[in-house]
A = this chain, B = another copy of it.
Amino acid sequence: MYSQSEENYLKAIYHLEESSEKGVSTSKLSEELQTKAASVTEMLKRLAEKKLVNYQKYYGVSLTPKGKSWALAIIRKHRLWEYFLVECLNFNWDEVHEVAEQLEHIQSKKLVEELDCFLGRPSFDPHGDPIPNAAGVLPEFKKRRLSEFKVGDTLICKGFSDASSSFLQFLDQHKIGLDTLLSIKSIQEFDESMLVKVRNNEIMLSKTATQNIFVEIYKESKLKEKV
């Protein structure tokens, strides 16, 4: 249907749209895809013709619903194959990416659906990334406390259990809100307080605080399990 190259652009745009609030620029894309800006411009024009992206010269790009659903289909395939490689073929989770990059472009509805079924319809790939279902819907993440995680993990805030105004004011001061990204820099052993990076600032959170912040995994550290 679409070329591998086109699919890679859709996937890259999707990932960049997810990971940054701002629109997706030509240069960001060229960096992501290890290609030159001029090549990106060309491709964006092609993708816009095919109604897969909204593209305005000099003002970046975004996916149309059609483009987004195609991107999700690729991501679904990628993550299912990663799961297969790790669970069935003894791959390590740091070896799967390259091969999954190839497998994600195989075209066959039946293949994907049967693979999904064969694997037991997993919701998360070996990196903890969510696997969209056949309709392109991502699974719900279960809320977990920030205090459960380990150094190196990157997390998205999904809720706060202590609704006291002093706690909320504290969060406000540090610009922590819904969908804020946090990454854990270090954990003090004696009181389990965490040094956390938020928008290029590093702040210290007490155990009381980390127990009251619900997060979802954004990216898990490759370090061995904490416990």
Contacts and interface: CB of A to CB of B under 8 A. Distances in A.
Interface of A: 85, 88-91, 95, 98-99, 102-103, 106-108, 110-111, 114-115, 118
| A contacts with B: majority SS | helix
A85 B88 CA distance: 14
A89 B110 CA distance: 9
A102 B95 CA distance: 21
A103 B81 CA distance: 12
A106 B106 CA distance: 9
A160 to B, nearest CB: 22
Contacts of A110: 89, 91, 95, 99
Contacts of A95: 110
A111 B90 contact: no
B98 A108 contact: yes
A102 B91 contact: no
Contacts of A108: 98-99, 102
22 contacts: A85-B111, A88-B118, A89-B110, A89-B111, A89-B114, A89-B115, A89-B118, A90-B114, A91-B110, A91-B114, A95-B110, A98-B108, A99-B106, A99-B108, A99-B110, A99-B111, A102-B106, A102-B107, A102-B108, A103-B103, A103-B106, A106-B106
